[in-house]
Chain A
Amino acid sequence: MKTIVLSAAVLAVAFAFTGCKLVKTGGDGTTAQVAADESGDDIRNAARIQKTYEPQLVPLIRSSAVDVATLKAAIGESLDAAGQKYGHRGAGEGGAWSFAIKGTGKVVSAALQSRAAHIDLDIDGDGTADVVIQIGPVVMGSALRDFAPFYSFTDFRDQIEFAKLGRALNAAAVKGLTRPTSDVTGKTVTFVGAVSLHSAGETLNVVPISIEIAP
């Protein structure tokens, strides 16, 4: 009884398989195209950066960068108004306003040993820091991504892919910087970059696309 049932089952399965078995070379076609899931994130983002960073984003930030003083004054009145005039809001109402920003100032302090190294600049000459220039390699925030109107969250698979783009843009920006090797306190630094603000009182944590240190 048992053997009959078993062999019948085996026969049925074997019959179904010989009828429709499809054997295909492994990996053909799948390696050529980018995986639609998470594993394809980096490849897709690399392509995006290739296409947009140098050709579009850098020129956009250079051309629309606002002086620190102008921006600070505008934010002082109203962050939303300043945002509508100079900035771009990344994705959705809860997001921060992002601005392109430029300026020249004196280094009041520098933390070059930290992984999240930064240079603090005094712009208005009162001796206290007005902006913090992040020179990495750890860079916080996604100001570069959120300032650019051509990266829309809706086009991304999920927030991880979107966030990875933010990080990749930061990395691309920091890679191009001329990093100071010795103490720079007291020197004059000129920068262009992007900054994100949730509220008016926040520190200006700039992601720079270029810095120049005057001797």
Chain B
Amino acid sequence: MTISRRLLVSVAVFGLTGTLAGFAAAADKIAIITPGHDNPFFKAEAVGAEAKAKELGYEAIVMVHNDDANKQNELFDSAIAAGVKAIVLDNAGADATVAAVKKAKDKGIPSFLIDREITASGIAISQIVSNNYQGAQLGAQEFVKLMGEKGPFAELVGKESDTNAGIRSKGYHDIIDQYPDLKMVAHQTANWSQPEAYKVMESMLQAHPEIKGVISGNDTMAMGARAALEAAGRGDVIVVGFDGSNDVRDSILKNGIKATVLQPAYAEAQIAVEQADKFLKTGKTGVAEKQLMDCVLINAANAKKLETFALAK
């Protein structure tokens, strides 16, 4: 008896999720695939794309690959099987994504990439790329200015296997390394993570108490570093982040973190869906495949206008 009741309950649970998700409607479907929504940046992308898709009359299937190229590959399979008309993707690796996008193309499903590019041209219809390199240079220029072109500093790098970690670090160094008086005394990965950045920052302060500035590969690590600095009574250390999250905006307004760089995630995702719509209706997007979206420097001057990865006019 208990068993059949259990079965009933589980059937009911499944039925509930079914109705929650909504059954197949007649509308054309667009798959929106991003890394995990636990990062507000990717959440903003997914929300932006989904809103635009609904506005244009599509049904959106939102999926997450958590930066796992294999999972992404499986999601492409499922999206193709589910009969989507187009795929909007923030990919899980410049090289590791090529095969999946090509597979979709071979099945006649166009892909529209946002945020990050892949290393092959001609297989995706659009690649709307955040200009991380330009953004990093912006951040580094501001950092150099704040530091007065000199002094010891530390760098926190993102997850080493992530292309963007490398791109941003290169962008920073392209600028900073041209100032011989700026000395990098520590250089560590904190895997994009706030708690890890906190720990790494604490150790760095032990080894190099002379640190005057910290440049971080993203905002969550900047937040972690800032917390460690404040806990150690070193609120004077200059911290610069990257992403333009609301948390860092608030910190900038309270004169904590000094600057960050905004990637227009929300706008980018919406443009991708618009281009997908245009492509589905007319067979072309009218723009080049690879498009760069420039990043914007956020500091005390404009931080007030920042909200969920979009800058108010």
Q: Is the CB of A154 within 8 A of B141?
A: no
Q: Mark B117-136, 1 if CB is under 8 A from A, else 0.
A: 10101000000110111100
Q: Mark A131-161, 1 if CB is under 8 A from B, else 0.
A: 0000001101010000000001111111110
Q: Mark A73-116, 1 if CB is under 8 A from B, else 0.
A: 00000000000000000111111100000000000000000111
A1 to B293, CA, bound (A): 64
Q: Is the CB of A91 within 8 A of B292?
A: yes
Chain A interface secondary structure, helix, strand, loop or mixed? loop
Q: Is B287 an interface residue (CB 8 A)?
A: yes
Residues facing A in B255-313 (CB within 8 A) are 264, 267-268, 271, 287-294, 296
Interface size class of A (residues with CB under 8 A): 20 to 34
Q: Is A167 an interface residue (CB 8 A)?
A: yes
Report the nearest A residue to B95, measured CB to CB.
A37
Chain B interface secondary structure, helix, strand, loop or mixed? mixed
A95 to chain B, nearest CB (A): 6
Report the nearest A residue to B121, measured CB to CB.
A154
Q: Is the CB of A94 within 8 A of B94?
A: no
Q: Is the CB of A137 within 8 A of B289?
A: no
A198 to B311, CA, bound (A): 14
- A94, A115, A140, A198: the one contacting B292 at CB < 8 Å is A94
A163 in contact with B171 given A94-B264, A115-B179, A154-B288 (CB within 8 Å): yes
Residues of B within 8 A of A158 (CB): 94, 117, 119, 163, 167
Q: Is B170 an interface residue (CB 8 A)?
A: yes
Report the nearest A residue to B267, measured CB to CB.
A94
A135 to B1, CA, bound (A): 85
- A92, A138, A156, A157: the one contacting B175 at CB < 8 Å is A138
Q: Is B59 an interface residue (CB 8 A)?
A: no
Report the nearest B residue to A153, measured CB to CB.
B290
A152 in contact with B288 given A137-B178, A160-B170 (CB within 8 Å): yes
A167 to B173, CA, bound (A): 13
A153 in contact with B288 given A92-B293, A115-B149 (CB within 8 Å): yes
Q: Is the CB of B288 within 8 A of A92?
A: yes
B221 to chain A, nearest CB (A): 21
Q: Is the CB of A114 within 8 A of B167?
A: no
Q: Is the CB of A157 within 8 A of B119?
A: yes
Q: Is the CB of B167 within 8 A of A155?
A: no
Q: Is B174 an interface residue (CB 8 A)?
A: yes
A162 to B127, CA, bound (A): 14
Q: Is B137 an interface residue (CB 8 A)?
A: yes
Q: Is the CB of A140 within 8 A of B137?
A: yes
A interface list, Cβ under 8 A from B = 90-96, 114-116, 137-138, 140, 142, 152-160, 162-163, 167, 198
Q: Provide a sorted-by-A list of 30 A–B residue pairs whose CB atoms are within 8 angstroms.
A: A91-B288, A91-B290, A91-B292, A92-B129, A92-B291, A92-B293, A93-B287, A93-B291, A94-B131, A94-B293, A95-B292, A95-B293, A95-B294, A96-B294, A114-B149, A115-B180, A138-B179, A140-B137, A152-B288, A153-B288, A154-B288, A154-B289, A158-B117, A159-B117, A159-B129, A160-B133, A160-B166, A163-B133, A167-B174, A198-B294
Q: Which 7 A-B pairs have the closest CB atoms?
A: A92-B291, A94-B293, A91-B292, A163-B133, A153-B290, A154-B290, A138-B178
Beyond A137-B178, A162-B133, 11 additional pairs, beta carbon < 8 A: A93-B291, A94-B293, A116-B178, A140-B141, A154-B289, A154-B290, A158-B117, A160-B133, A160-B170, A198-B294, A198-B296
